[in-house]
Amino acid sequence: MKRLISVAAVWLVFIIVCTSSVRAQTQDIGGYTFIRGGSSSIICVGRWVPSTEPGRPGVCEGQLADPSQLTAVSTRQTADKLDQLLLVLQFIDQKLADNSAQIERLIEATVNTQAALSQQTEQVGELMHDTISSRVDALSKRVLANDTFKKELEKLKQEILADIKKLYPAP
């Protein structure tokens, strides 16, 4: 009988040691320590300090959380971050829309300015052409009586008008 009690005591100690070591099994995943117990797991949100005594569980320096609780908290934090990201993206979208509108206004102003400049250039060219022609034609009859002088003036007039057409081409 003593022998049976001794064997039973040894088996009981063995079962207690094995059971506590099974309960204290840990696994690190993604910076969290998962502590597997008999029926469920608990997560150490903090630093896990393993026990120095055999058969004893370690200590969590932080909070212990059920995986479903941690999942709920993590899901909520993810949703909050996504909401913040959505707000940032909406802000960027608004700024891009504002910039697009400003660019469209700048393009329209540039087109209008180019059209006005082209019109002014054409008007200046026509004005210079008319002014030179009228002034040469208005020279006194006595000056134009000399055919050689008249031909040179006409040649000069044509050269000046050709230069004006180069500088101020008609559209």
Which amino acid is residue 3, in one-letter code? R
Classify 80 as helix, strand or coil. helix
Residue 19: predicted pLDDT: 45
pTM of this structure: 0.47
> Tokens at residue 67, please?
């995986």
Query: In 3D, which of 128, 126, 150 has the Cα closest to residue 139?
Result: 150
> Tokens at residue 140, please?
């006194």
pLDDT at residue 142 tops 60 = yes
Average pLDDT over residues 14-29: 57
Query: In 3D, which of 68, 21, 16 has the Cα closest to residue 40?
Result: 68
At 71-112, the pLDDT tens digits run: 888 899 999 999 999 999 999 999 999 999 999 999 999 999
Does an H or E element contain 65, and which?
A: strand 59-65
CA atoms within 13 A on the CB side of 72: 5
